[in-house]
Amino acid sequence: MNMEENGHIIIREMRKEDVAAFVREEIAQGWDASPDKLEMRLRDRAEKGALPIVAEYDGEPAGYLTVYPDSKWGALGGKGLPEIVDFNVLEKFRRKGIGTRLMDEAEKIAAKFADRVYLGVGLMSSYGAAQRLYVKRGYIPDGSGVWHGNAPCPEYAETVNDDELNLYFYKVL
């Protein structure tokens, strides 16, 4: 992937040294963070063709996401469609266009593999900014209902509103 620059923002591939920087910043802002998730994304690049990308703002890692070109999980998993996962912008860098630039790049990547892309978004209020961003970008619910983990929730079932409770959206590219 070529580095792309837009003002203060540079989009590039994730590097090993990004892991510690993001974990440190996520812990500082009160998130429950460990290196495991990002290290898995780097392993998945080699093993599954995942494409983890980072946005730098004035030289500092500011946000990240990963595109899985042929995702096997979630509402549209196993259908040859790319999925955008783990989209995060550090709080101190929000409202600077970083999330938009990351999503622009993710959608360009996804378009190389299919005519649609999908993602899951949490239902907690802490996901509110992401929920609004996805709708503004033209993502619509896929119609499969609410999921917990990697399975749809049965109708009228009790569930827990945690990071695993998601609604899936897709976009025609």
Task: Write down the pLDDT at residue 143.
Answer: 96
Mean per-residue pLDDT for 40-53? 95
Total-model pTM:
0.93
Percent of the chain's residues with pLDDT above 70: 96
Tens digit of each residue's pLDDT (9 = 90 or more) over 129-166: 899 999 999 999 999 999 999 999 999 999 999 999 99
Tell me what the mean pLDDT of segment 110-131 comes to.
Answer: 96
- How many domains would you assign to the chain? 1
At residue 32, the pLDDT reads: 86
pLDDT digits (tens, 9 = 90+) for 4-15: 555 789 999 999
Give the CATH number for residue 141. Answer: 3.40.630.30
Across residues 82-89, what is the average pLDDT? 96
- Structure confidence at residue 2 (pLDDT): 44
Please check the confidence at residue 3 and state whether its pLDDT lies above 60.
Answer: no
Residue with tokens 């392993």: 43
Range of the domain at 149: 4-172
